[in-house]
Amino acid sequence: MKNEDAAKVLHAVRDLAPAIAARSAEIEEARRLPADLLEQLKAAGCFRMFVPRSHGGHDVDLRTGMDVLETLARADGATAWTVMIGSESPHLFVLLSRERFDAIYAGGPDVIIGGAFNAQGEAHVAEGGYRVTGRWSFASGCEHSSWLFGNCVILDGGRPRMRPAGDGREIPEMRGMLFPASEVRILDTWSVLGLRGTGSHDIMVEGAFCPAAHSFDIFQGQSSVPGPGFVAPVLHCVLHMAAVAVGIAQGALDDLVAIATSGKKRLYARAQLADSPVFQVHLGRAETSVRAARALLRDLGDEFWAACVNNPGAAVAMAPRISGALAWVTEVAGRAVDACYQAGGGGVARNASPVQRRFRDIHTFSQHAAAAEGWLGQTGAALLGQPTGYWT
């Protein structure tokens, strides 16, 4: 059955994209999305697109969601990243009980969560829950989130509580701890190379109480809400992230074509940039590599979505391929943006250049742990029939 809401979200984002691109410098300067733009994105359905219809959302399929995020990234990487994080809220909330999920969305579907997957906190077992202390980096969109979470090592009697790793080992148990944003301190730490408009500051709590019902297992938890969009929630997030990388690279290509077709001529060159065979080769190679990355991503995403619908176990088993794909797509996107920067001439070095912003954004993106080259080793290990340890 065709989801008309999904088409409406994508159409609305395409309409917003030129205005977003025009505000990229403003977004960078503020180090967060402007309040009015945030409201426009909410009105477009961006933050409710993955929320179930039963809770006022749009139940957008994976492919359309990836297209939405790529479209936004083509306009502005920081905007896309912020929407990606905020739109994925239900993928984490479904790891709570159904009762808690229902309560969180009782007031409406545009609920935004921010936080961090890295276990930089300690959660001491207490009556009815946990006493939590921690400081977490890279909490994107934290300034406009309703809820914030941090992943923690569980301590019982002062010692880490252990759980089986599935390969004979034991590892410390970890759980995400969810707090109303008003209970979390935001530290102004986001002074970085790229993706400046994401507001990915540090967050912290000291001795805060988290009820057991507000804790969840990020990597091994099971969804309390049925539907293909909530099978292996973390893998949906990985594919969304890869779509942002493709969008940033496509944006750089758009910018480079605009430079070349404006009649630009490089210093000491006889011909205009657009007439240079060498430039044409570099542009063609970069564009072909971005198309290849997009094609892989769509093919893998379609296969994953079909498995989520028909065979959830097979969807979970795709984890090594999906994680490796993000690493590869990020690498390809980075090379394409580098090619655009190198081919664009001296003007792209200026702070006002959108190519320079794409360059900074993709190289900040590539530092994310989920995009690390090592994830391709998980793909290789799976092909060899060896343990991947993806969830551990």
| CATH superfamily ID and name for 4-93 | Acyl-CoA dehydrogenase/oxidase, N-terminal domain (1.10.540.10)
Cα–Cα distance for residue pair 157/160, rounded to 1 Å:
8
| CATH superfamily ID and name for 231-383 | Butyryl-CoA Dehydrogenase, subunit A, domain 3 (1.20.140.10)
pLDDT value of residue 390: 55
Alpha-helical runs (H) found in the chain: 4-22, 24-30, 35-44, 62-75, 77-87, 89-93, 98-104, 233-260, 277-310, 312-317, 319-343, 354-365, 375-383
Answer positive or negative: Cα dihedral of 214, 117, 233, 156.
negative
Report the top-level CATH class of 111-216.
Answer: mainly beta
Residues in the chain: 392
Contact in structure between 181 and 146 (CB atoms under 8 Å): yes
pLDDT value of residue 392: 41
Q: Among 53, 49, 51, 52, which residue's Cα sits nearest to residue 7?
A: 49
pLDDT value of residue 213: 98
Q: CA Rg, the chain, in Å?
A: 21
Q: Among 35, 120, 49, which residue's Cα sits nearest to residue 84?
A: 49
Supply the DSSP string of 114-164, one letter for each residue.
EEEEEEEEEEEEETTEEEEEEEEEEETTGGG-SEEEEEEEEEETTEEPEEE
The domain limits of the chain are 4-93, 111-216, 231-383
Contacts of 270 (CB under 8 A, 6+ apart): none
pLDDT value of residue 263: 82
Cα–Cα distance for residue pair 211/128, rounded to 1 Å:
6
Neighbouring C-beta atoms of residue 71, cutoff 10 Å: 19
Contacts of 118 (CB under 8 A, 6+ apart): 136, 137, 138, 151, 369
Average pLDDT along the chain, 392 residues, taken 10 residues at a time: 85 99 98 98 98 97 98 99 98 98 98 97 98 99 98 97 85 97 99 99 99 96 96 97 99 98 76 90 98 99 99 97 98 99 94 98 98 97 87 44
Q: Among 166, 163, 164, which residue's Cα sits nearest to residue 387?
A: 166
Equal CATH topology for 111-216 and 231-383: no
